[in-house]
Amino acid sequence: MTMAEENGSQTPEAAAQQTPALPKMQVLGQFVRDLSFENIAAQKAVKGNVQPEIQVQVGVEARKRPTENQYDVVVKLKIDSKNKEGGEQIFLIELDYAGIFLIENVNEQQMHPFLHIECPRMLFPFIRRIVADLSHDGGFPPLNLDNMDFVQIYRNQLARAAQAKPHADA
């Protein structure tokens, strides 16, 4: 028996073995999977006082890749800008932005929320820049997206999925 065992304390090696490993996430790659920008105002020659009203729809998809501990996560954005007066569409942006992630030390029960919350958080700054550049290059002031609450987006997706399931007793 070692002196540490006699005193009831653990060696640093034994403590390290009992401490669960911290989650590890690494972005292996990221890319625009699909992108569409429509400048409807220019196509339809919208005139007058244009005051945009922006609506943003966000979805997140995730799937396991064939390689161990690797996952694809896609953030899907649909940004619709309509004129407050009259409701004419000004522009429409649709963006699917994907990331390839290496994720280790996350248990199976926590993997789904991790993929739908933490991974999109890592991708969001790049998405924001693309949207700002795209709207500016399309002839409008840069659209700087507000921070997104991916926890709430995840909860909303779960609620929609629960509502979409057919009731077993119906």
Q: Which two tokens stand for residue 121?
A: 């958080």
Q: For 37-82, how does the pLDDT look when each residue is reduced to its tens digit (9 = 90+)?
A: 999 877 776 665 667 899 999 999 999 999 999 999 999 999 999 9
Q: For 84-136, how does the pLDDT look when each residue is reduced to its tens digit (9 = 90+)?
A: 887 888 999 999 999 999 999 999 999 999 999 999 999 999 999 999 999 99
State which H helix or E strand residue 161 sits in. helix 150-164
Query: Exposed, middle or buried by CB within 10 Å (0-12, 13-18, 19+), for 163?
Result: exposed
Least Cα distance to 151 among 116, 101, 111, 105 occurs for 116
